[in-house]
Structure 1
Amino acid sequence: MSGGVNYQRAYERERLARTEAECLLADKTRDLYDNVIVLEKTLEELKVSQKQLIQAAKMASIGQLAAGVAHEINNPVGFSMSNVQTLSEYLSHIFQLDQWMMTQAELPDGLKHQYEQQRQALAIDELKDDTQALIDETLGGLDRVRNIVSSLKQVTHAGGNTREQCDINCCVDDSLKVVWNEIKYKMEVTKHLLPELPSVQADGQSIQQILINMFINAAHACEDKGTLTVSTQTQVYKGVQGILIKVKDDGSGMSDEVKEKIFDPFYTTKKVGEGTGLGLSVTHNLVEKHGGHISVNSKLGVGTCFGIFLPITQA
């Protein structure tokens, strides 16, 4: 009898020990699983931070190059535009003299005849038209170069120094008015703007430039008729209260490879001569100067959505 009791007690102790071990194992497994989840999240955050650091280093190095190039280009562009404008004035005076010569009735017939022959041989009338067209095209080209230089400066310019309370919804409306002539035939615009949105301490002109770049980029992504959807809402990002602006299009979308490069200066998927590749890099720079964050979600053949987070107050 005592042997059976001892066996029963030994069995009960073993069962309790096994149960306790199983509970302990379950607790440790649960802790291990929780740690794995935390590690996976930390790893993902580290990957994001690594990409941001690489992007920041890339922007810094390319920005220095861009600043130097902009400075070197700006001077010759400036005096070239001045010289072409002066040349246009000189030619205008010459053609005025020609017009005066042709209207003088007191000139001897022989001299007037010789002048008309020389004038015809030099094709002065055609020269007038061609010269003005050439000057206009040259000034237009130089003005485009000047705009590119201006964009280059904005890649590295501190920008956004003048801060005031901005109504983001008003910035959206004003920016749409600016680009309306460019997008009205290509895009149907839908707005979902949160009423009574808190104001943001920001440089209003910079915010409008960010939005204008976004809207034009969306229009270019839609070959035919497309839809541009703009929304605003409040959001907390990394513990900071702010405003989230979403700019969405149903255009061609982007591959993962393209998404990795879209904020790089001079990177563009457009044909040569159709774009400088500075719009999104300038946008990225301006958002970061405001202490904000820009993200992109895109799928080929479906469309693209940019998210622009701006803190309500600057640190």
Structure 2
Amino acid sequence: MGRLLLVLLLIVFAGKSSAGTVDYVNGSLIIGKHIEIYEDKADTLTLPEIRRVQGFQKSTDEVPNIGLSQSTFWIRFSIRNKSASDMLYLELAHPSIHSCELYEISGDNVRTETYDVTDPFSKRRIKHQNLVFRLALGPDQERSYYLKVKGSNQVILPLLVRDREVFFETAQLGETINGIFCGIIVVMVLYNIFIYFSTRDRSYLFYVLYVLSIGLAQTTLSGYAFKYLWPNAPNFNAVAAIYFSGVAGVSVMYFLKNFLQLKENWPRATIVAPIVVVLYSISTVLNMTGNELLSFRVVDFTGAFGALCCLVISIKLSLANYRPAKLFLLGWSIFLLGLFLLILRNVNVLPYNVYTTYTMQFGSIIEVVLLSIALADKINIFKREREESQAQALRISMENEKIIMEQNVFLEKSVNERTAELRFANEDLNLALTRLKDAQTQLIDSEKMASLGQLTAGIAHEINNPINFVSSNIKPLRRDIDDILEILDSYENIQKVGSIEDLQIKMSEIEQLKEELDLDYIKTELDTLLKGMEDGASRTVEIVKGLKIFSRIDELDLNIVNINEGIESTLIILNYQMGNSIQLVKNLGNLPSIECYAGKLNQVFMNILTNSIYALLKDKQEGKTPTIWVKTWLSDPENISISMRDNGPGMTSEVKAKIFEPFFTTKQVGDGTGLGLSIVFKIIEAHSGTIQVNTEIGQGTEFLITLPVKRKVRPIPDFQ
């Protein structure tokens, strides 16, 4: 029922057609000037409705170029077959158009043939890269046609009518040309990718990507990619040209950047490549979101922008006499020339024929060949530069060898002279070092002798008092002993007396002698003298004991000792220096014995106290009693502390910072060597102890020593 209604409508409105009639005689006939076009923006009109429309526009171009559009266009025309062929072919030679319908009107009959964008290639009745329709038009027959074209991007209508023979000849020519094009592309890709893996030059990688993508873009635009590469992917084929054009545009920009070394030759131009990447990315996103028309506009703009940038960059560097830029400019110019000729053909400035149809392929082939030659030339340039560099390096090496030989003689002489100078200098240094060691030894010996002198003087002074006390008691003791012996002798004479009367007389004489000699006093005096001599002897024993303790100064063995005994022995030695001028305040706590080098610690006490005595005697102040405080205590279970403080003049911060430096002294020349406190510091350090100095000008100085109870000592360095 519906088909019958359609036929009736066609019969009613058949007379409304006013399309021009084109006579086909032979060859390839372009019918663009014989067609009428109507734009159906809403894509709602049917064939009966379009036949009633009066708004068809007569085409004045052989190849109508409508431009970017997503509208539906109706084309009407009539063909009269003036040839002997009984079969004609209508070819829409623009593979970017994927959807169209042809209505053939013959009297009351309407024949429809449809191509849809979603159809795989296998559904095409004629296996051709373009959309082709068979026209069952016998000799001298005339029929009217309506062609409905659905636009999605660039709408160009190259409509050609051919007979069977011409159609197949043209198809064979197209297959041959595109086969040659694809073959050259494949050869260039394989050849240059092999060179890339050999050289690892990134220019080859970008070149391969560019050639591969431009080849795929060209074959997609010509329809051969859909025919041979992805015949079952019509949806991908509809957008493949955009994607491959984007990859080609990006890869050629990065090829340009690496090949022409823009970072070195024109750094500001390196910004172009990222811009092109961003623009092509935008076009891809637009296409994926359904904005096909806007996506094509962005692609066209980006392509024009990138092409212009490549041209400007290559011209600038060519003018700078950069050889790779000249070769790139030549290849790029030929490519742009082919593109320009294609554009002129599409806008009907140039005729539509086999030459103008394949200008893009010809330009691309010449370009990729020239760019490959440019890459090879770049390698040759690098090779020549390397050879020149090697030759230059060889010349420089020979010159250097000559210079080295000349310099060797001079250097040998100079080395001998310097060696002799160094030998003499070394001898002088050794002599100076020997003298320095001798001087140090003498200073240390002097320090030892000073200590020995202090020891000797102190012992002499301390022993002198008890010895004097003993020696002064000897004379009265001898006198008393003589008196007692006299009394004893009188008693011995009693044995010689014969009578009692004589005995009584003798006893009277003895009693009288006792009274004369005062025997009771003698007894008392003897006891006093013996006690005095005993005290003197005891004092001498104590002094000798202290001397024995102090005299361990050169012992190198560890001993368990009481630090208080060492301090006491040191104070005994120094007692004569203090005399009555300096008050001594002792507060020696109950300390555990510690393992240490006892003699070395006695030397520490001696050196510190000697400095205090020197400072107090040198800086006497009226109304101020020179005093030395010595205190010991157990600071914690593992450490003991010793404080030696005086109320002398004190020290400045500058002097305090240097007092432990060897040979630093504030004493007059001849009064000190500057080694005393340096030795003190090293001894305390060897015992793993600490020594702290607290001082203030006018208030005195305190040396606070902390020593471990348990063994932590290290070997004493040889500074004695």
TM-score by length of 1: 0.50
Higher RCO structure, 1 or 2 (CA under 8 Å, sep 6+): 1
TM-score by length of 2: 0.23
Larger Cα-atom Rg: 2
